[in-house]
Structure formats: structure tokens, C-alpha cells
Amino acid sequence: MSTHKFEEFAITPVISQIIGELGFHEPTPIQREVMPAALRGESLIGQSHTGSGKTHAYLLSLLNKIDENSSNVQFVITAPTRELAIQIHEEVKKAIQFGGKEKIWRSKLLIGGTDKQKMVDKLSSLPPHIIVGTPGRILDMVKEEAVDLHQAKGFVLDEADLMLDLGFIEDVDQILIRMDPDVQMLVFSATIPERLQPFLKKYLTNPSLIQIEDDKPSPESMEHRLVPLRHKNPADIIMDISEAIQPYLAIIFTNGKGHADELADALLSRGLEVGILHGGLSPRERKRMLKELQNLRYQYIVATDLASRGIDIQGVSHVINAQMPKEEEFYIHRVGRTARAGLQGTAINLYKEGDLPLIQKLESRGLTFNFYEVKNGEWKEVNSYNERQTRERKETDLEKKARQMVRKPKKVKPGYKKKMKKKADKNLKGLKRNQYRKK
């Protein structure tokens, strides 16, 4: 069987050098499909999950076409979160360094949380060849006339489905109407929801659709455990879980940064060393945390959906939902953080009664949940919620006789069932008294 090589693509010697320095030997499935089309200047939609190699699929293709003699912005890469934008920009800088182009190719990271006026001044003095950022901040810079995107040759929309969920598609739309209508569009998304279709039809004409099936276990084949929260403190349950699982690396999800801070503090006070990742961190804190996560300093990371989306954290063996998400898709994305690189992956969910409708929807999609409690660091299997709901108390012979003694009225009036139950209860008391007297 012949192996695919990057040399088969129409790449420059500089890109070939970057690939060698990155230590890549063979293109991943998404790179094998995306790069030839992207190098030809075609617009496309790539559907694949985090960790598939899509970042380098578009990055290497765009860098291959950079015009060193032009001082205009040539490529714009958008991401829905600051964290993902930072990660992509780090890869851009690495590629520039590996290609020996530090003094020639210019890139700029445009995200919120940084001094806006300083950013305007820097952009105005010397435009970058490549812009990486969040749609809101890029649009700010365009409106401030700090950057001109009319000459840009390529536009990347990464994590398009999350862009849609967060309401950033409108900002993307505002950026695109200020660009060349024939700009090359590279859209990447884990899912292609129906709500995204109007946007895709507006900006892409007959694009190639590249869908890559993950070779990691699907959510349906993973193990999903449900642990009742009841009135316990989530931090106490997670401490018990930590004794039972001893993870290589576990991501603990919460709904929102306030809950993430609260849970992280509670776990730290109980002696568990945890990292934290959410949108409330300053740019410096986020950068430090991402570096520490890559160096596997922490065994546990408390995170929010938005902060973790798109960030490729290696070696996640467990996902713990301290709070169940509100939607099915967010659950699928969360558990998709694990079961990589040959690891089977386990999702552990702290649930309350209000989460049962979501659990039932996920079950209808083919996911199987097992019910457990954790005591003294050990797992104990318990009955599922539906078994407990449907389990009826067996009727005794005496209760049956008391019920049969009550005649159903010929004319049924409102509240008759309540009256019959009352009579049955009265009969039961009488039968019990008689039984006692006989003794």
C-alpha cells in the first residue's frame, strides 16, 4: 500500500522545510483532502473534529501562496474564542520561524482583552500579511480603518458551528462584505447544522465538501456514567471520583466561568491540584495556562464549553460534567475531548432530576448510560432513574381485597377515583382490625 507524502502536493521548498521541522511525515486524512483543493485556490467546507490536523491543512496551504513583496493583508483566519485564536497564532508563528521567515512574513493576533488604541497604532504602521483573531475584534479594527482587507486572498472560518451558537456569524458577515467577493473561503466545522446553510450559500458557490470520519471511538461506543448529585456538594463527589479513577488527564466541565471559579477553588481547598480555563482569564493568564496544560502540569482542568472548544489538549482520559450542559450537541462536544490517541475514554456525569430530559434525548441517539454512586473511592452500580420510576410497590392480598370491595358507580362523576380510594383505605383498615382480632 502506497503511503501519501506532502511532497505530492504543489508546495514550495519553504513549506516543505516547515513540514520537516514540524516533524510531520504523512498528511492526516483531512490534510490529504483539503490541501490539494486549498492550494488550487478553491473554496471548501471541511467537516472534522478537533485533533484531526485541520489547522495545518489550511495554514500550510495559505502560507504556500504568501506574496513577500506585498504589504497588504493577504489572509484572515477567524476563530470563535480567544483561546483558539491564540493557539492558531502560535502555530502561525512557529511555521514562520521554522521557515526562516521571521523578518519577512508578518502576522498579528487580534483578540479582545488587549489595548485597542495600541493595536490600532501598530496595525496602521505596518500591516501584517496574516491576521488571526476573533470576529468582533477584527471587525473593530476594520471599522477603525486600522486594517484594509480588500486585497486579502483567503479567509478561514474555523469552528463555524460554534461561531453560529455564539452569535458571531453576524460579525463574520460584516467582515466579508468588506472583502473581495471572490476571496477564497475555507470553512471548518465539527458539525454542519441547518441554521448555517444560509451563510454558506451566501458566500460559497459550489464548494467542495470534505467530510472526515474520526477513527476515534464515537460517543455511542464510549462509557457514560451517571452519578446522582442529590443535595451533595459537587466538589465532594469529584474528590471521591478522583480516588476511584486516577485519570491521566480529566477535564471537568461547568456551565459558565462563575461556576468554574467556584468549583476550582473548592477542589483546591480540598487538596486537588487543578488548572482552570475560561473566558474570564486575562490574556497573560490564558497564555500561561495553555502552556502549562501542554506541559501536562495538571491532572485536572476545570473548564467551560467556550474556553475548551477547539483547543487540542493531548491525553484526556476522562471528562467529568460537574454540571450537565443544556443541549445535546454540547454534551457530544464535551465527551469528544476524550477517547483520543488509543485511549478509550470515559464520561462521568453528575446529574439531578432536571437533567433527565437531556439524558433521555441522548439515549434516543444511541448513547448508553450506566448509573453509579461513589463511596470511599469505589464505584457502586445503582438502579437507573427509569427503573426507580417504573418500579411499583406490589399490592398485598389484603389491599387487593379492600379494593375489590369497592363498587364502581354506574354514573362516573369528577373525583370518583379519589372517593373509591378513600373507601378502599377504609375497607383496608377494617380488614386489618378483623385480622388483628382473630389473632
Mean pLDDT per 10-residue run, the chain (439 residues)?
Answer: 70 94 89 94 86 87 94 94 86 95 94 83 87 95 93 94 84 95 92 86 89 63 88 93 86 92 95 86 78 81 75 77 87 74 74 92 88 87 62 59 74 68 77 62
| Domain residue limits, the chain | 6-211, 219-390, 397-434
Looking at residue 113, its pLDDT comes to 74
Identify the DSSP state of 326: S
Q: 348 phi and psi, to 5 degrees? A: -115, 125
Looking at residue 413, its pLDDT comes to 67
Of 193, 185, 186, 334, which Cα lies nearest the Cα of 252?
334
Report d(CA 70, CA 105) in Å as an integer.
10
Burial of 145 per CB tally in 10 Å (0-12, 13-18, 19+) = exposed
What long-range pairs does 327-334 form, CB within 8 A, spacing at least 24? 327/358, 328/358, 328/361, 328/362, 328/365, 329/161, 329/191, 330/305, 331/358, 331/362, 332/219, 333/190, 333/305, 333/309, 334/251, 334/253, 334/305, 334/308
Give yes or no for a contact between 79 and 57, defined as CB atoms under 8 angstroms apart. no
User: How many beta carbons lie within 10 A of that of residue 118, not counting itself?
Assistant: 9
Looking at residue 40, its pLDDT comes to 94
Helices (H) and strands (E) counted in the chain, each on its own, are 18, 15
Report d(CA 245, CA 264) in Å as an integer.
19
Does the 6-211 domain belong in CATH 3.20.20.80? no
User: How many beta carbons lie within 10 A of that of residue 388, not counting itself?
Assistant: 10
Given this chain, do its domains 6-211 and 219-390 carry the same CATH topology? yes
Q: Specify the CATH number of the domain 219-390.
A: 3.40.50.300
Which residues are within 8 A (CB) of 37 and not within 5 positions of it... i.e. 6 or more apart? 44, 208, 210
Global confidence as pTM: 0.63
Looking at residue 65, its pLDDT comes to 94
Burial of 189 per CB tally in 10 Å (0-12, 13-18, 19+) = buried
SS3 65: coil
